[in-house]
Homo-oligomer: A and B are copies of this chain.
Amino acid sequence: MTISEVSEKFDISQDTLRYYERIGLIPRVNRNKSGMRDYTEEDCNWVEFIKCMRGAGLPIEVLIEYVGLFQQGAETVEARKGLLIEQRKQLIARMEDMKKTLERLEYKIARYEQAVVVKEKELKKSEN
What's the number of copies of this chain in the assembled complex? 2
Chain A contact residue count (CB 8 A cutoff): 48
* Cβ of A31 under 8 Å from chain B: no
**In the bound complex, what is the Cα–Cα distance between A128 and B67 (angstroms)?**
9
**Contact residues, A42-72 vs B (CB, 8 A):** 42, 45-46, 49, 52-53, 55-58, 70
Query: Can you name 22 A-B pairs with beta carbons within 8 Å?
Result: A45-B126, A45-B127, A45-B128, A52-B104, A53-B101, A55-B97, A55-B101, A77-B120, A80-B112, A81-B113, A81-B116, A84-B108, A85-B109, A88-B102, A88-B106, A88-B109, A91-B101, A91-B102, A91-B105, A94-B98, A95-B95, A95-B102
Extra pairs beyond A84-B112, A88-B106 (6, CB < 8 Å): A45-B127, A55-B97, A56-B98, A74-B122, A77-B120, A92-B102
